[in-house]
Chains A and B, each alone.
Chain A
């Protein structure tokens, strides 16, 4: 029991520090994913529109995903220096694959008859994209977003190695100080963040699918 008391006492005493770290953690993830959305969605649309480019675009993002996170961040550090911005770039590259692939799949999955109805109604390719293909790919995009955010929250934990803050700071200093309490104080909020992101985006995805009768 004493460990739990120690932990809760530590967390209460350092609550403002932990809160700041959590906020920074969230910000890194949000910026990284926002960037990935801004660039990944157009890439997914291009892949769906120009089928010949698709293998190229998809495998490129796949390769990015395969680079071990510590290695990728170290390399990025060489160019972007230490700190927050390097982490954001890293998270952006990691989130690209699920977002590009799901945008691509979402657009390709739109039923042929729905596409024909849109085309036959006299929609231009752009209108077809904006009014039919993108709205119908939202459930897929949400699934991609969910995977991306869980991965990003995890990867962001190694931020301190490249000079970024975030909840990883508590965990890593816990490792060097061999402090169980500090490790848990960082690990618990980080895990909670991942669980909340997973549940919330899962719920949104389910809702979107239900409305479009895709389930």
Chain B
């Protein structure tokens, strides 16, 4: 895990490139730094292998202050993929990939094995490509080599500086897919810089949006799409992408509520449900706090009991500020038809019904298909 605590960077001319950056790059995740040019995203990444230095603050990698580590050692423990590919044109593909293992003086046999494995991992036949020179490869193939060169010495962290931005759109898509697939195998902590929001949404586990040397918002792609922190983030994401996120919980739920109080009689609750053709009704106390869900048939079978005794207390609720992806991920609707939506202080604010969710999803996917 990589932690940045209160990082500031001021250049000699007084320009403040980074202002109080506090961040965590999660272990085994793809962390994407994104923002307009000049926002400090590349600078932030280059702090990690000390290609640039910071003026204030602390960076910890696995709880170790990186200023305590020799920068040369540090860089050898970290993979680095640069924007313009940067393969060594005078070296064969083999020598390029073997760069760091050779610096670390690995055994020759071990290096050869590793290089061949890596070439196969990106679907390049070692027999064909091992002895070629970079200029003999296409742009997409070259950047595949750039990526596996960074993997060769088995670093736990890989820094990628807009690695696919110089490629044609088709190769870019392919390499993004490959990276996501590779990451499932290799599980590295990846710090990935880009200015391309589509790329970030596609590959990221965590997106960190930066502007003028500060972090504006961080979170999973879903969280950011569902709840952009401010107008800058909204604008940066773009209207059409905002539409591509599932509607928020607030939009999915029904606000016009038929509820009964816990102190009401069961007969009254049954009457209500029958009148409005509801199979279930949410129950609250007099302050509007959610108490549970009352099922019509349970109530009819045991109408001599109090509402409190009949409530299904185990039924989960949906938090108002949760992403709707969470709703689907938790798969709550497999067992329940209706779930209560509660605000932070447990006040009932709405309900979400299964049919309603399905209907919205149908509408959402129709729109999405139409939009493409």
Please tell me which one of the listed residues A113, A122, A138, A212 contacts residue B72 in the complex, with CB atoms under 8 A apart: A122
Answer yes or no: A207 CB below 8 A from chain B CBs. no
Answer yes or no: A8 CB below 8 A from chain B CBs. no
Answer yes or no: B88 CB below 8 A from chain A CBs. yes
Could you tell me if B51 and A120 are in contact, using CB atoms closer than 8 angstroms?
A: yes
Interface set, chain B 251-288, CB cutoff 8 A to A: none
- When C-beta atoms are compared, the residue in chain B nearest to A215 turns out to be B135
Could you tell me if A119 and B90 are in contact, using CB atoms closer than 8 angstroms?
A: no
Complex CA gap A124/B103 in Å reads 10
Could you tell me if A120 and B82 are in contact, using CB atoms closer than 8 angstroms?
A: yes
Answer yes or no: B321 CB below 8 A from chain A CBs. no
Known: A213-B133, A213-B134. A122 touches B86 (CB 8 A): no
Mask of A107-122 contacts with B, CB within 8 angstroms, 1/0: 0000101101111111
Residues in B with CB closer than 8 Å to A131 are 88
Please tell me which one of the listed residues A113, A116, A127 contacts residue B51 in the complex, with CB atoms under 8 A apart: A116
Mask of B35-54 contacts with A, CB within 8 angstroms, 1/0: 00000000000000101000
Complex CA gap A117/B142 in Å reads 14
Interface set, chain A 125-150, CB cutoff 8 A to B: 127, 131-132, 135-136, 138
Can you spell out 30 A-B residue pairs with CB atoms less than 8 angstroms apart? A113-B84, A113-B85, A114-B87, A114-B88, A116-B51, A117-B87, A118-B88, A120-B49, A120-B51, A120-B159, A121-B80, A121-B99, A121-B100, A121-B103, A122-B73, A122-B74, A122-B75, A122-B100, A122-B103, A123-B72, A123-B103, A127-B103, A136-B88, A138-B90, A211-B90, A211-B133, A212-B89, A213-B89, A213-B133, A213-B135
Complex CA gap A145/B80 in Å reads 36
How many residues does chain A have at the interface if contact means C-beta atoms less than 8 Å apart? Answer: 22
Complex CA gap A138/B100 in Å reads 23
Complex CA gap A116/B84 in Å reads 10
Residues in B with CB closer than 8 Å to A136 are 88-90
Which residues on A are within 8 Å of B, measured CB to CB?
111, 113-114, 116-124, 127, 131-132, 135-136, 138, 211-214
Complex CA gap A127/B75 in Å reads 14
Answer yes or no: B22 CB below 8 A from chain A CBs. no
Interface of A is mostly: helix
Complex CA gap A118/B76 in Å reads 11
Q: How far is the CB of A123 from chain B (nearest CB, A)?
A: 7
Could you tell me if A117 and B86 are in contact, using CB atoms closer than 8 angstroms?
A: yes
The residue in A114, A127, A136 that gathers the most chain B C-beta atoms within 10 A of its C-beta is: A114
Answer yes or no: B83 CB below 8 A from chain A CBs. yes
Known: A136-B89, A211-B90, A213-B135. A119 touches B51 (CB 8 A): yes
Could you tell me if B76 and A121 are in contact, using CB atoms closer than 8 angstroms?
A: yes
Q: List 6 extra interface pairs beyond A122-B103, A136-B88, CB under 8 A.
A: A111-B84, A114-B88, A120-B51, A121-B100, A131-B88, A211-B90
Please tell me which one of the listed residues B75, B77, B88 contacts residue A119 in the complex, with CB atoms under 8 A apart: B75
Residues in A with CB closer than 8 Å to B90 are 135-136, 138, 211-212
Could you tell me if A117 and B82 are in contact, using CB atoms closer than 8 angstroms?
A: yes
* Chain A to chain B: the 7 pairs with minimum beta-carbon distance, closest first: A213-B135, A117-B86, A122-B76, A122-B75, A120-B80, A113-B84, A113-B86
Residues in A with CB closer than 8 Å to B89 are 114, 136, 212-214
- When C-beta atoms are compared, the residue in chain A nearest to B77 turns out to be A122
